[in-house]
Structure 1
Amino acid sequence: MREGLIIKGYGGFYYVRSGVETWCCRGRGRLRQAQDLLTGDRVLFTPLEKGEGVIEEIKERKNALPRPPVANVDQVIPVVSLAHPDPDLKLLNRSLVLCELEKLSVVICFNKIDLLDPEQAKDLEDIYRKAGYNSIFTSALYGYGLEKLRQVIAGKISVLSGPSGVGKSTLLNSLDPNLSLETGEISKKLKRGKHTTRYVELIPLCDGFVADTPGFSSLKLPSMERVELSRCFPEINEFASQCRFYDCIHLEEPDCEVKNALDKGLISSARYNDYKQFLQEIISKERIY
C-alpha cells in the first residue's frame, strides 16, 4: 500500500496524490458506503493498473471543516469582497465562529481593495485586529497584496472560503496563471457571484496546497452551549472571565465586563450585534430540542 492525499472527490471517485503522481481511486467496502472520505484526507491505498487504485484506510484527521468539507486544514483564509458584491461581514463572522470551534488558524483576505476608500479599509482592519485576526488586502486586478498572500499560503494546506463572486479563483489565477481556473461574473440583479467552482479541490501552489471551494451565501451554526459562543469571539472571550457570573452570556447581566469593554470601544459594536443574533439562534435551537 501507498500513502497519499485526497486532492479531489467527484462522482464517487477520489483523486489521490502520492509523490508526483495522482491516482483515481474508489473506497473499498465500507469506505465506499459510508461516504466518509473528504478532500484533504491522508489515506492508504492499493495502486492498480492504468493509474487507478483502491482506498483501504483513512489516517487520523487533525481537523475537519463541515463547510466547505475539507480535512487536515492548516489555516482558513476567508475571502471578503470589499465591493461588487458588497462585503458580507455577518457571513464572515459566522465563518470565524466555525473556525474557532475547530481551533483553526485564520487570516482574512479583503479583496478588491482598489474599489474601497483607504479609511474604510483601515476601519475594517482595526475591527478584526481587535478581535485577534490578521488581515491582508488584495487586488487581483492590480496585483496588490499578492506577494503577502503568497507568503501566507506557502508550505501549508489552506482553504479559501467565501461566497461566490468575491474573487477566490481570480486570486489563485493571479498567483499562478497556469491554473486557468474558471471565474464568474457578478449577477447585476442579485448583486452576488455566480457559482464557478463546483467541488472542493486541493491545488498545488507555493509548496503547499490551496483548496478552491464552491461559494456559499449562508452558513448554519451547529448546536452548542450558550456560554460556548462567547469563546468563539476572541475579543469577547478576553473579557468574559472577568464577569461577575461564570455563566454570563453578556446581554443584561450585572457586572458584565464584556458590556463594559463594549462601552469603552474595545469590542466592535457590529461584531457584538452579530454575537447577540447568533446567540438567539442557539437559544432557539435549545427550545426545539
Structure 2
Amino acid sequence: MAVRRYDESDVRVRPGRGSRPRTKQRPEHADARVGMVTGVDRGRYAVLVDAGGPDEQPVVAMKARELGRERVVPGDLVDVVGDTTGDTGTLARIVRIVERRTALRRTADDTDPVERVIVANADQLVIVTALADPEPRPRMIDRCVVAAYDAGMSAVLMLTKADLADPAPLSAMYTPVGVRVLVTGMDGDRLVSGLEDVRSALAGKVSVLVGHSGVGKSTLVNALVPGAYRATGAVNDTTGRGRHTSSSAVALRVPGEGPVTWVVDTPGVRSFGLAHVEPAHLLAAFADLAEVAQACPRGCTHAGDAPDCALDDWVSAAPDDAARAARAARLDSFRRLLAARTGTADPDDRTER
C-alpha cells in the first residue's frame, strides 16, 4: 500500500478571531444628534434629544460598546445615533459623552478609592435638610458643601419643615460663609410656604437635590413639577430616619415661562464619602475658617493637635457663649472631615450618618 506524502498545499490556514487589524480610532458619527440624559434604568438611558429645540424628542438609548465602562449619568450631554424617532420599541445608541462642565461625585466612605459620579453639568447643589423629623445633621451639610465646591458648583441650603422648628440657628451657621439659605414650611406632604423663593433660586439653572430620606425632597419636586408624582415617605418613629422612596436620580424640567430650569431628584443618602477630595482642599469649603487660618504658622496642619493653630484662638475669642459654641461646632466639623481624609479618624466618623 502506497503511503501518501503531504506537502504545504494540503494545509488550510483559517483566519483566527484576532486576525482583523484593530484600531483605536472611533467612528466619527457625523450624523449624531445631541441629547441630555434625564434618567438611567438598568442599562437603558432616557435621553431628550435636541432638548429645548423645535425638534425635541425623548428617546430610549443604550450605551455603545466603544464607551467601555465610562459612566453615563443624568445631566450628561451625549451624542446619539440610530433610531431617534422615539417610537415604541425603538432603541438609539449613545456614542459619545460631551465634556462635562461639572461633575458631582461621592464615595461610599472616606477610605473608598472608587468615586462615583452622581450628576453631570449641574450648576448648584441644593442640600435639603429638615429642621425636625428627622433632626438636622450639620456635619452631613458640611460634607455636601465640600462636595459641591470640589465639583465647581455653588451650594444652597434648603431648610424644610419650618413649621416644626426655628430655622434661625442653622441659617446663622451657613449664611455668613456664602451658602444661600432657603426656608420652606410643610403640611404633611404638601408645601405651604417658601415655594416662590425656591423657584427664584432655581430659575435658569440645573440644580441637584441631595438629602436624607424623609426631609421633603420628593414633596418639593412634586410642588415644582406637577405631574412628577415622586413618591413621598414617612419618617420611622424609632430610628428617626426616612424611608427611601426614590430609587434612582432623575432630571425633571420645571414648567413655566422664562429661562429653562431643571431639578435632579436623587435617592435619599445616609452617608456622603469624600475620598475623592484632597485634604488640602477641605478648608476652602469652610470660608470662615479659611480666613482665620491665614494667621496660622507656616506648615500648620489645622488638626486638633496642631500647635499655635489660629483656629483654636478664634474659638476662644468668641464674644459670648452662644458664639463660642457655634464656632466650636464649625471647627469640630472641619477637623472630623480632615481626620477622616487623613486616616486618623475613628471609623465611626469616616462618614456622616
Residue aligned with 1:195, SS: coil
1:21 aligns to 2:67 (yes or no): no
Amino acid aligned to 1:281: A
Q: How does 1:48-67 map to 2 (within 5 A)?
A: 48=83, 50=87, 51-67=90-106
Instruction: Please give the alpha-carbon distance, in whole angstroms, between the structure 1 residues aligned to 2:170 and 2:210.
Output: 18
Aligned to 2:246: 197
**What is the match of residue 234 of structure 1?**
287
What is aligned with 1:149?
Answer: 198
Residue in structure 1 matching 2:313, options 247, 253, 260 = 260
CA–CA separation in structure 1 for the residues paired with 2:164 and 2:312: 34
**Correspondent of 2:182 among 127, 136, 142:** 136
Q: CA RMSD in A?
A: 2.1
The equivalent residue for 2:35 is: 4
1:167 and 1:224, CA in 2 relative to 1: closer, same or farther beyond 3 A? closer
Cα deviation, residue 131, structure 1:
2.3
Distance 1:262 1:79 in 2: 28
The structural deviation recorded for 1:247 is 3.9
Deviates more, 1:59-68 or 1:257-266: 257-266
Change (3 A) 1:244 1:87: same
Q: Is the 8 A contact 1:173 1:181 kept in 2?
A: yes
Q: Could you state the TM-score of these two structures normalised by the residue count of structure 1?
A: 0.90
* Whole-angstrom CA distance in 2 between matches of 1:223 and 1:131: 23
- Report the Cα offset of residue 202 of structure 1: 0.2
Structure with greater proportional helix content: 1
Corresponding residue pairs, total: 282
Structure 2 counterpart of 1:92: 141
Displacement after TM superposition at 1:42 (Å): 0.3
Deviation track 1:197-255 (CA, whole Å, cap 9, x = no partner) reads: 10010001153110010001112221555433222212111222232224442534454
Q: What is the CA deviation profile of residues 35-69 of structure 1, one whole-angstrom value per residue up to 9, with x for unaligned ones? A: 42111110111141535311111000112112471
Letter in 1 for 2:179: Y
Structure 2 unaligned regions, length at least 5: 1-31, 107-116, 346-353
Cα separation, 2, equivalents of 1:285 and 1:35: 33
Q: Secondary structure at the match of 2:186?
A: coil
Unaligned runs of at least 5 residues, structure 1: none
* Larger Rg computed on CA atoms: 2
- The 4+ residue runs of structure 1 with deviation greater than 6 A are none
In the alignment, the residues of structure 2 paired with residue 197 and residue 245 of structure 1 have an alpha-carbon distance, to the nearest angstrom, of: 47
8 A Cα contact 1:81 1:87, kept in partner: yes
C-alpha distance 223-29 of structure 1, shift in aligned 2 (>3 A): closer
Contact (CA 8 Å) 1:143, 1:174: kept in 2 or not?
no
User: Contact 1:62/1:71 (CA < 8 Å) preserved in 2?
Assistant: yes
Q: Secondary structure at the match of 2:212?
A: coil
**Residues 134-283 of structure 1 correspond to what in structure 2 (within 5 A)?**
134-141=180-187, 143-206=192-255, 207-222=260-275, 225-249=278-302, 251-265=304-318, 268-283=327-342
TM-score by length of 2: 0.75
Any conservation in 1 of the 2:105–2:151 contact (CA below 8 Å)? Answer: no
Superposition deviation, residue 123 in structure 1: 1.8
